[in-house]
Amino acid sequence: MHMMLLLTSEGTQDLVTIIPWTFIAQILNLFIQLYLIKRFLFKPINNILEKRKELADQTIREAREAQEKADSLKDQYESSLSDAHAEASRIVADAEKAAQTRADEMIRKAEADAKGIKAKAEADIEQEKKKAINDAKNEIGGLAMDIAGKVVEKEISEADHKKLIDEFINKVGEAS
């Protein structure tokens, strides 16, 4: 707008006048400037802002997808870890069962070996006992023969008879 201001020397003001063609030209100039600003400034800026918004939205989508993928991987990891713990527990249980079975088998074998050793020892003792009895019988038979021979040789008095019995008992005691 173009206005005229006239001051007089006395300090008073004259009326402000508006020229209509200048006013119309200035309004047209303003609309042209607004059109140019809108076309060459606001549209590119709006396009840039729209592209940045799309980029931000895409980044947010990618972040959500990455988060979902990370959650999925975490679930898989936790599932695998759980399976590994279960497998480890099963392996330990199987090892304990195998060790217990092996220990039971070793105990049964040791008991069988001990029974075998005991049976052999009893058989050896029985054999030695029979041998000792046979040896004692032979010794007693020999002593009986000696006594019979002495009885035949002489007539035995009661004191001699008692003496022979004591000798027999002593010899039998020495033999066993």
Query: For 80-125, how does the pLDDT look when each residue is reduced to its tens digit (9 = 90+)?
Result: 999 999 999 999 999 999 999 999 999 999 999 999 999 999 999 9
Question: Can you spell out the DSSP letters for 29-52?
Answer: HHHHHHHHHIIIIIHHHHHHHHHH
The encoded tokens of residue 74 equal 């975490």
Residues 14 and 8 sit within 8 Å (Cβ to Cβ) = yes
Instruction: Using DSSP, state whether 18 is helix, strand or coil.
Output: strand
pLDDT band at 155 (very low <50, low <70, confident <90, very high): low
What secondary structure does DSSP assign to 129-145, as a single string? HHHHHHHHHHHHHHHHH
Nearest-angstrom CA–CA distance, 161 and 154: 11
Please report how many Cα atoms fall inside a 13 Å half-sphere around the Cα of residue 169, on the Cβ side: 6
pLDDT digits (tens, 9 = 90+) for 123-146: 999 998 888 888 877 777 777 777
Kindly report the pTM of this predicted structure. Answer: 0.38
